[in-house]
Amino acid sequence: MKSVFAAILLTLLAGLVPAKAAGAGLGAVAVTGLTKPQAEAVLRLVIAQGVYRRWLHSRHSYIENLDQAEKQAVPGFFMFRLAYDAPRTGATAYAGPYLISQKTADVWDVGDPGACKNLHFPALARWQAQVTRKTQAKVQDEAGLRAAFDCFD
């Protein structure tokens, strides 16, 4: 009985600590790159490091996949945004959209029209290294793909 209680408690605590929850890792990365759930994990890591981290574990927030069914809006990238439904006003606020490279785990915040921000921090760099070791892709190789959403180095 105590071990069941301890397991439940640890599970709940893991959900309350963004760095630990996000630091769980990507798991096995395929040669073809990230899966949609792995790309969402990358986004959770990014959000846990940023100004929207309060939203991440709120029961009023959720991550929306902006790709059309199984077709990527921008080939080679997964597109997500974070939504927060404000309980008192009924309004929904959004962060993003974020584009996550399938082959490099490179993350771009394209939320402001005409502005792209490439996100960098140590934990993300470790995950990106894990992905690029497997895919053998380089961020520079994706310059043409990034041109599709007007993001340049």
What are the residue ranges spanned by the domains of the chain? 2-147
CA dist 39 and 57 (Å) reads: 18
Q: What does the pLDDT read at residue 113?
A: 64
Of the candidates 79, 125, 123, the one whose C-alpha atom is nearest the C-alpha of residue 104 is 125
Compute the C-alpha angle 33/39/44, nearest 5°: 150
**CATH code, 2-147:** 3.10.450.170
Chain centroid to CA 30: 17
Residue keyed to tokens 């785990």: 105
What pTM, to 2 d.p., does this model score? 0.74
Q: Which residues pair with 72 in a beta bridge?
A: none
The tens-digit pLDDT sequence of the chain (153 residues) is 444 333 333 333 333 333 333 445 788 898 999 999 999 999 999 988 876 766 666 777 888 888 876 777 778 889 998 888 888 888 888 888 899 999 999 998 888 766 788 888 999 999 999 999 999 988 777 776 666 666 765
